[in-house]
Amino acid sequence: MMQAANTPGLAIDAQSLSALKRTAKEAPQQATRQAAKQFEALFMNMLLKHMRETLPGSDPLSSEASKTYTGMLDQQMSQKMADKGLGLADLIVKHLERSRGGGANAARSGHAGGVAAAAPTGGNARDFVSRMRNHAEEAARSLGVPAHFIVGQAALETGWGRHEIKGADGTNSRNLFGIKAGGNWTGKTVDVMTTEYINGVPRKIVDKFRAYNSYAESFRDYANLIGRNARYSAAAQAGADANQFARGLARGGYATDPRYAEKLAQVIQQAGQLQSPTNQA
């Protein structure tokens, strides 16, 4: 059976699999959606097959031709159902996108979370540094550390702004530092899936995070958290030492990721380089 060019069939043959691989290289986000739909279709195909096998009165001596035709029919039905969407593919895509976001969904504010390394991506990273610099400088004056330390942490937590924390309806929380909404928080919140490291093992959970009306508000809340919480005193007293700043946050429990200090120090260095005059666009 022929498939429309923009609706690939089940990736059970070399041709379909090769096409999916090419898409993954050329358009990763599109490939994620296609792979999720493939999984949904395969799941439905397995479900239909299992249902047929458990039907009473099924003929175990049916011809191979009949079995082949039934299998093709099941595959066609599965693909049609997946094309219409059952919701499983959407859940898979959201999970993968949040996983790639990593640090954007990390847990903070007295509760530790996990974060993935954030690599700068040319103009996007420079634009992020430029947009956040003024806010970071205000927070830096309050904490007594260089502004690029704070920009670097925001970059790590959000993947240079590519994976900011958003609610289920897509509303941007403007929470650049992954700060959780504890019992004392009376402002707006969003529920987000995040990675927690429990005994060194990453676990996915849904938790409540703070939401802000502006990025300036996010930076002020972050400066207040770090500056007034004794747990982070080593970070607040780091001066111009990026490594001490990163270690102070990690030791204070800002994140459960065992490599958080290492990752943060690296991204702070990158933010400093992007902020330098020789790297300004």
CATH number at residue 120: 1.10.530.10
Query: Could you tell me the residue range of the domain that residue 27 belongs to?
Result: 14-86
At residue 230, does pLDDT exceed 70? yes
Asked if the model's pLDDT at residue 126 lies above 70, the reply is yes
Whole-angstrom Cα distance, residue 269 to residue 246? 11
Q: Mean of the pLDDT values across residues 233-241?
A: 96
Do 275 and 233 reside in the same domain of the chain? yes
Please tell me whether residues 204 and 254 are part of one structural domain.
yes
Positions marked catalytic: 196, 221
Last residue of a domain, one of 65, 86, 107: 86
Quote the pTM value. Answer: 0.59
- Answer whether residue 2 is part of any domain: no
Q: Could you report the per-residue pLDDT of 241-252, keeping only the tens digit for each?
A: 999 999 999 999
Residue 6 lies in a domain: no
Q: Which of the pair, 41 or 29, is modelled with greater confidence? A: 41
210 occurs within a structural domain: yes
Q: Confirm whether 95 is domain-assigned.
A: no
Q: What pLDDT is recorded for position 123? A: 72
Domain check: are 150 and 248 in the same one?
A: yes
pLDDT 10s digits, 146-178: 999 999 999 999 999 999 999 888 999 999 999
pLDDT greater at residue 163 or residue 52: 163
Q: Is the pLDDT of residue 145 over 80?
A: yes
**pLDDT(48) > 70:** no
Is the same domain home to 25 and 77? Answer: yes
pLDDT at 273: 93
Q: Specify whether 230 is located in the same domain as 144.
A: yes
Sign of CA dihedral 196, 92, 28, 16: positive
Q: Are residues 38 and 129 in the same domain?
A: no
Q: What is the mean pLDDT of residues 113-141?
A: 81
Is 101 contained in some domain?
no
Q: Is residue 93 part of a domain?
A: no
pLDDT band at 226 (very low <50, low <70, confident <90, very high): very high
Residue that finishes a domain, picked among 36, 70, 86 = 86
Domain assignment of residue 5, yes or no: no
Residues 202 and 261 in one domain: yes
Q: Do 247 and 171 share a structural domain?
A: yes
Tokens matching residue 227: 């500056």
pLDDT at residue 118, as a whole number: 72
Last residue of a domain, one of 41, 71, 86: 86
Q: What percent of the chain has pLDDT over 90?
A: 44
Given this model, what pLDDT does residue 196 score? Answer: 78
Whether 82 and 121 map to the same domain: the answer is no
Q: Is the same domain home to 140 and 77? A: no
Do 25 and 119 fall into the same domain? no
d(CA 64, CA 71): 10
Do residue 140 and residue 35 come from a single domain? Answer: no
Q: Per-residue pLDDT for 207 more than 50?
A: yes
Q: How many independent structural domains does the chain possess?
A: 2
Taking residues 85-108, what's their average pLDDT? Answer: 51
Is residue 3 domain-resident?
Answer: no
